[in-house]
Amino acid sequence: MSLRLGDTAPDFSAITSVGDIRFHEYLGDSWGILFSHPADYTPVCTTELGRTAQLKDEFAKRNVKVLAVSVDPIDKHFGWIADINETQHTIVDFPIIADENRNVAELYDMIHPNASATATVRSLFIIGPDKKIKLTLTYPASTGRNFTEVLRVIDSLQLAAEYSVATPADWKHGEDVIIALSVSTEDAQTKFPKGVKIVKPYLRYTPQPDKD
């Protein structure tokens, strides 16, 4: 099953390091990040889970819940979490799914035969409060995820969802944004009282709407 942007994120029940969950119920009205790891006790993933835990407050202020997936059993998860807490100087308190039967991996197409016949590739999904998939990323085993970029994308997605704007290349929180083509220039003057800078009829900038 190949998931595309705009598809409904498949629901599932799972055993996790914080207890049994139903995915959609767990997310509630929050945004969600679901990301996979090939197995427990892998070095790059150890740093990633640690970094995710360190960014707990950043995710919380964006109303984002995070879940990790590994195909190892729950008892191994607990041992790995202890190692992560020790080596990354943090506390992992978000759910790590024990996907022994690869149910979640198959739902989200996390096993790519060209990479491995059994282990999940390192996929990441951002899911909106409407349970639709907003972004997918797949990393090779040798490259750790850039969580600054993950947070940047969430900021961009949330702005786009609320204000009819898009974000330009290399945009960072607080910088000017692009007015969506669905908004006429006339309407933009009213909709964006901070000002409209017209570079071309199709390229119009305004200060980030939710930035004081």
Active-site annotation, residues: 45
Closest CA to 85 of 118, 136, 46: 46
DSSP letters for the chain? ----TTSBPPP-EEEETTEEEEHHHHHTTSEEEEEEESSSS-HHHHHHHHHHHHTHHHHHHTTEEEEEEESS-HHHHHHHHHHHHHHHTS---S-EEE-TT-HHHHHTT---TTT-SSSPPEEEEEE-TTSBEEEEEEE-TTS---HHHHHHHHHHHHHHHHHSEE--TT--TTS-EEEPTTS-HHHHHHH-TT--EEEETTEEEE--TT--
Q: How far is 128 from 175, CA to CA, in rounded Å?
A: 23
Angstrom distances, CA of residue 44 to CA of 49, 84, 152: 9, 11, 21
